[in-house]
Amino acid sequence: MAVPPRAEIPQFELPCTECGKKSLKSFIQLEMKDRLPCDHCGVSIKVADYYGQPELQALAVSLGYKGFIVGESKKRN
Protein backbone atom coordinates (compact mmCIF):
# COMPACT_ATOMS: atom_id res chain seq x y z
CA MET A 1 0.00 0.00 0.00
CA ALA A 2 1.42 3.37 -1.01
CA VAL A 3 1.85 6.02 1.64
CA PRO A 4 -0.14 9.20 0.85
CA PRO A 5 1.72 12.49 0.61
CA ARG A 6 1.84 14.36 3.93
CA ALA A 7 -0.56 17.02 2.59
CA GLU A 8 -3.22 14.32 2.09
CA ILE A 9 -3.00 12.85 5.61
CA PRO A 10 -5.98 14.06 7.67
CA GLN A 11 -5.03 16.25 10.62
CA PHE A 12 -7.04 16.64 13.83
CA GLU A 13 -6.96 19.53 16.30
CA LEU A 14 -5.41 19.08 19.74
CA PRO A 15 -5.97 22.16 21.95
CA CYS A 16 -3.31 23.40 24.36
CA THR A 17 -4.42 24.48 27.82
CA GLU A 18 -1.23 26.52 28.27
CA CYS A 19 -1.19 28.80 25.21
CA GLY A 20 -4.76 28.23 23.96
CA LYS A 21 -3.66 27.41 20.40
CA LYS A 22 -4.51 24.23 18.51
CA SER A 23 -1.94 21.81 17.17
CA LEU A 24 -2.65 19.59 14.18
CA LYS A 25 -1.90 15.90 14.71
CA SER A 26 -2.51 12.81 12.59
CA PHE A 27 -4.76 9.97 13.73
CA ILE A 28 -1.70 7.73 14.14
CA GLN A 29 -0.02 10.30 16.43
CA LEU A 30 -3.18 10.61 18.53
CA GLU A 31 -3.58 6.85 18.83
CA MET A 32 0.06 5.89 19.37
CA LYS A 33 1.15 8.47 21.94
CA ASP A 34 -0.29 9.22 25.39
CA ARG A 35 1.11 12.75 25.31
CA LEU A 36 2.02 15.03 22.42
CA PRO A 37 3.80 18.40 22.40
CA CYS A 38 1.99 21.59 21.50
CA ASP A 39 3.21 22.77 18.09
CA HIS A 40 3.32 26.36 19.37
CA CYS A 41 4.67 26.37 22.96
CA GLY A 42 5.96 22.80 23.39
CA VAL A 43 3.87 21.96 26.47
CA SER A 44 3.02 18.27 26.76
CA ILE A 45 -0.71 17.66 26.13
CA LYS A 46 -2.45 14.52 27.43
CA VAL A 47 -4.23 13.08 24.37
CA ALA A 48 -6.93 11.28 26.41
CA ASP A 49 -8.13 14.63 27.77
CA TYR A 50 -9.48 15.38 24.28
CA TYR A 51 -9.53 12.07 22.41
CA GLY A 52 -10.61 9.05 24.43
CA GLN A 53 -11.43 5.61 23.06
CA PRO A 54 -14.90 6.55 21.68
CA GLU A 55 -13.59 9.61 19.83
CA LEU A 56 -10.60 7.78 18.37
CA GLN A 57 -12.79 4.83 17.37
CA ALA A 58 -15.13 7.24 15.53
CA LEU A 59 -12.14 8.85 13.77
CA ALA A 60 -10.87 5.41 12.72
CA VAL A 61 -14.24 4.53 11.20
CA SER A 62 -14.44 7.91 9.43
CA LEU A 63 -11.01 7.22 7.89
CA GLY A 64 -12.16 3.83 6.64
CA TYR A 65 -10.35 1.59 9.14
CA LYS A 66 -12.39 -1.54 9.74
CA GLY A 67 -11.87 -3.67 12.83
CA PHE A 68 -9.41 -1.15 14.32
CA ILE A 69 -9.13 -1.40 18.12
CA VAL A 70 -8.05 1.70 20.03
CA GLY A 71 -5.45 1.11 22.74
CA GLU A 72 -6.31 0.81 26.43
CA SER A 73 -4.25 3.90 27.29
CA LYS A 74 -6.97 6.11 25.82
CA LYS A 75 -9.48 5.38 28.59
CA ARG A 76 -10.43 8.54 30.42
CA ASN A 77 -9.93 8.72 34.16
In-domain check, residue 22: yes
For residue 27, what are the domain limits? Answer: 12-70
Q: What is the pLDDT of residue 4?
A: 60
β-bridge pairing 11-15 and 22-26: antiparallel
4 domain-assigned = no
Residue 18 inside a domain? The answer is yes
Tens-level pLDDT at each residue, the chain (77 residues): 566 666 677 899 999 999 999 999 999 899 999 999 999 999 999 999 999 888 988 888 888 888 777 776 666 55
With respect to residue 16, please indicate whether it lies within any of the assigned structural domains. Answer: yes
- The verdict on residue 3 lying in a domain is no
Which pLDDT value is given to residue 70? Answer: 76
